[in-house]
Amino acid sequence: MTADAAAPVLVAKGVTKQFGGLVAVNAVDFDIPQGSIVSLIGPNGAGKTTFFNVVAGLYEPTDGSVEFAGREMIARGRRAWAEPLVWVLPTVIVMLVGVLLEQLTKSGAELAVALVIALGLLITMFLLAIIRPPIYDRLLYRLGIFKSARPNDMVVAGLGRTFQNIRLFKTMTASENVMVGMHSRLHASPLDAALRLPRHRREEKEADIQARRWLAFVGLKGKEQETARNLAYGDQRRLEVARALASQPRLLLLDEPTAGMNPSETAQMTTLFGRIRTELGLTILLIEHDMQVVMGVSDRITVLDHGDKISEGTPEEVRRDPRVIEAYLGKGASA
Amino acid sequence: MTGATARRRSLAVPWRAPLAAIVALAVAYFVILAGIVSDSSQQLTFTSAIPQAQAQFINAVTIGAIYALIALGYTMVYGIIELINFAHGEIFMCGSFVSWWLLTTLGFSGAITDPLLLVGVLLLAFAVSMVVMGIVGVVIERLAYRRLRNAPRLAPLITAIGVSFILQNIVFVVVSNSIVTTPQIIPNTVLTFGFFSISLINLFVIILAVGLMATLQLFISRTRLGRAMRSTAIDRDAAQLMGVDINTTIALTFFVGSALAGAAGVVQGLYFGITVFNIGFQAGLKAFTAAVLGGIGNTTGAALGGFVIGFLEVISSVWGQGRWSEAVVFGMLVLVLVFRPTGILGQQLADRA
């Protein structure tokens, strides 16, 4: 998708996440080249999911940063305290000007006008802060205020994900689940919907067609109107993938996508990953603790243990790394 | 909803079952009311009590519609952030004051006979009150509730009660500390269709409320933002990780809920002709009851609950026991919750539609 195919989609620099005294992820450097399938493995409790959640914008890292598609997205906030000042500053300025003018002219009308404008500005700034249009974010950036991206910002930037334990919207239909995935790519405002403008109708129709396409892609054709919780386990996993794909990501994060699946389902899932890469040209980050799945599909593997990166390389290199063997099988096994 | 029915009527909003239920309920209520009216006044037989029963029926639907509009806000907010927004009744009260202020500022004091002007003024009053109260709701959420979103549940609850007092006191101090007469701009005309007669204001209120509720239902079930609201209600983190901006979605929920309460506030002024700074407490409490009765978090349930409470109130006053109406309403709540703890239609904004 980008001009430079070799440029990494995601670069993590020294990402550290502490929970109280526990260092869940310790200074992990990590990057994902465009178009590759990269895996993150490690024994249970190695910090894989924590790292994943930092990248997804769910946790703010204690230290380090994550660049996504060439932009710094995740790091500790800088000057976050200044944001409320931005909200009230225009109001304060207008009020000061009003008071000043009133002092000069002694008519009193200026103050009333200033009051109205100031109130309007205050409400406008509040609404801006709530709706957060790109202009507002750019304004904050100009002022040197950096806020770590929230998960939805990451999705807008092009990150899709699935969950280790399935988290579908259980009472919604399969196609509605996929359409929620499309949320950030649709644009109808409440006003469009309220007035039932053609734009809204066209978009909904288009979304419905797209949802069918994604469901067919993952092999759920004909199950569009099935309520998510009524789907079979394997189908629910597929639906999660479809939902993630619907957000048109550049990078797909899959958190233990084959957990709880039997060997034939696992094989089908692995085929699906291959198709996602070849047919859709997506980059995939896979998290697994099952070595077998990972070895077959990955271009590169990174191994975490107790929050530290202990090994990195091709599947073959990682398989031979004594530290990896030790982490998985215990001391002495490598000898 | 089972998979089978969902498949059969994929995109259509189910309407037959609710319609049948409404008709059945209406008939039942009508018979009950006629029975009570003829019973309480010895001169009337069951048939001759019908006109009076009919008037009370319409009155009940109208009052129910007001409760239902307020209850929707309670239920939507609960559905999405599990907060019982006790300030919501005050939003309704403020809405009635906004429309009072607007109408008196424009210089209206009584009925407007020119139909075109009437429609224009009504549109203006509803638009202003709904937008203003919507914004107030959003600002309250931003200032008072957002920081407490992950706090223990009692913290935002107490905050909501605090916000309710703040709004009440602002109106008390700034606007008026006593009952205010609001202009009833809809003329007191009675329309007759054969046996059935209804005054213009009742017809207007009922159509408005039903229209708003239907729009809301469509909005929640069929639009992008409605889907975002439902997904946020089901699983906030997952929704966020799927690209839904939950802050905006929650703000939107507050906007819509508060706007509906604002509309109810305008109706209060038009229908009863009065408003007062503490009107929101009573109305809010009853609307909250309506929401719980119908199944909190469930928008259809809230609407249903509103109408049920309207009927209970009117029935108890027709029976000559108006002062017991609160006891009847809350007694009913207790009864329903004993046998169906999740309310008549069950919980969750998410389950609906």
Structure tokens at A243: 């939902």
Query: Could A169 and B234 be called an inter-chain contact, meaning their C-beta atoms sit closer than 8 Å?
Result: yes
Q: Looking at the partner chain, which of B3, B139, B227 has a beta carbon nearest the beta carbon of A179?
A: B227
Residue range B239-263, pLDDT digits in tens: 999 999 999 899 999 999 999 999 9
| Region for residue B226 given its phi and psi (left: phi exceeds 0; alpha: psi -120 to 50; beta: otherwise) | alpha
Structure tokens at A115: 């009051």
The pLDDT confidence band at residue B163, using thresholds 50, 70 and 90, is very high
**pTM summary value:** 0.86
Query: Could B234 and A224 be called an inter-chain contact, meaning their C-beta atoms sit closer than 8 Å?
Result: no
How many Cβ pairs within 8 Å bridge chains A and B? 124
Q: Looking at the predicted structure, is the pLDDT value of residue B224 above 70?
A: yes
Q: Give the 3-state secondary structure of residue B313.
A: helix
Query: Could A224 and B240 be called an inter-chain contact, meaning their C-beta atoms sit closer than 8 Å?
Result: no
Contacts of A208 in chain B (CB under 8 A): 11
Q: Looking at the predicted structure, is the pLDDT value of residue B103 above 60?
A: yes
Query: Could A227 and B242 be called an inter-chain contact, meaning their C-beta atoms sit closer than 8 Å?
Result: no
Overall average pLDDT of the B321-341 stretch: 85
The pLDDT assigned to A215 comes to 94
The pLDDT assigned to B12 comes to 44
Q: Is A201 on the interface with B (CB under 8 A)?
A: no
Overall average pLDDT of the B269-279 stretch: 93
Tens-binned pLDDT, residue by residue, of chain A (335 aa): 444 456 788 999 999 999 988 888 999 898 898 888 899 988 888 888 889 889 988 888 999 999 998 888 888 888 888 888 888 888 899 889 888 888 888 777 778 888 889 888 988 888 888 777 878 888 888 888 888 888 988 998 999 999 888 899 988 999 999 999 998 888 777 677 666 677 788 888 889 999 999 999 999 999 989 999 999 988 999 999 999 999 999 999 998 888 888 888 888 888 888 889 889 989 999 988 777 778 888 889 998 888 888 888 888 888 888 888 888 776 655 44
Q: Looking at the partner chain, which of B11, B138, B240 has a beta carbon nearest the beta carbon of A150?
A: B240
Q: Looking at the partner chain, which of A167, A183, A224 has a beta carbon nearest the beta carbon of B244?
A: A183
The pLDDT assigned to B99 comes to 95
Overall average pLDDT of the B268-290 stretch: 92
The CB density around residue B207, as the number of other CB atoms within 10 Å, is 11
> Position A304: which residue type?
L
User: Quick check: B221 and B353 in contact, CB under 8 A?
Assistant: yes
Q: Cα A301 to chain center, whole Å? A: 21
List the single best residue of B5, B241, B255 to mutate versus A (max A Cβ within 10 A).
B241
Q: Give the 3-state secondary structure of residue B238.
A: helix
The pLDDT assigned to A335 comes to 43
Overall average pLDDT of the B158-173 stretch: 95
The pLDDT confidence band at residue B131, using thresholds 50, 70 and 90, is very high
Contacts of B240 in chain A (CB under 8 A): 58, 150-152
Structure tokens at B224: 């992008």
The pLDDT confidence band at residue B141, using thresholds 50, 70 and 90, is very high
Helix (H) or strand (E) holding A33: strand A22-33
In chain A, what is the straight-line distance between the N-terminal and C-terminal CA atoms, in Å? 45
User: Which chain A residue lies closest to B231 (C-alpha atoms)?
Assistant: A169
Query: Could A58 and B237 be called an inter-chain contact, meaning their C-beta atoms sit closer than 8 Å?
Result: yes
List the single best residue of B1, B146, B235, B242 to mutate versus A (max A Cβ within 10 A).
B242
Contacts of B239 in chain A (CB under 8 A): 169, 180
Overall average pLDDT of the B223-229 stretch: 90
Q: Looking at the partner chain, which of A123, A129, A183 has a beta carbon nearest the beta carbon of B242?
A: A183
ipTM value, please give it: 0.81
Separation CA B287–CA B257 (nearest Å) = 12
User: Quick check: B333 and B213 in contact, CB under 8 A?
Assistant: no
The pLDDT assigned to A306 comes to 87
Overall average pLDDT of the B11-32 stretch: 72
Radius of gyration of chain A (CA): 25
Q: Is A200 on the interface with B (CB under 8 A)?
A: yes
CA dihedral sign, ordered B220, B224, B227, B233: negative
Contacts of A80 in chain B (CB under 8 A): none
| Closest to A226 (Cα-Cα) out of A245, A209, A244, A212 | A212
Q: Is A202 on the interface with B (CB under 8 A)?
A: no
Number of H helices, E strands in chain B: 13, 4
User: To the nearest whole number, what is the mean pLDDT of chain B?
Assistant: 86
Q: Is A49 on the interface with B (CB under 8 A)?
A: no
To 5 degrees, how large is the angle CA A199–CA A156–CA A11?
160
> Position B145: which residue type?
Y
> Position A222: which residue type?
G
Domain residue extents for chain A: 80-142, 167-248
The pLDDT assigned to B14 comes to 58
The pLDDT assigned to A194 comes to 67
Q: Could you tell me whether strands A283-288 and A37-41 are parallel, antiparallel, or unpaired per DSSP bridges?
A: parallel
The pLDDT assigned to A6 comes to 63
CATH number of A167-248: 3.40.50.300
Q: Is A190 on the interface with B (CB under 8 A)?
A: yes
The pLDDT assigned to B2 comes to 39
The CB density around residue B289, as the number of other CB atoms within 10 Å, is 24
| Closest to A334 (Cα-Cα) out of A308, A302, A310, A299 | A310
Query: Could A171 and B231 be called an inter-chain contact, meaning their C-beta atoms sit closer than 8 Å?
Result: no
> Position A288: which residue type?
E
Q: Looking at the predicted structure, is the pLDDT value of residue B272 above 90?
A: yes
Overall average pLDDT of the B185-196 stretch: 86
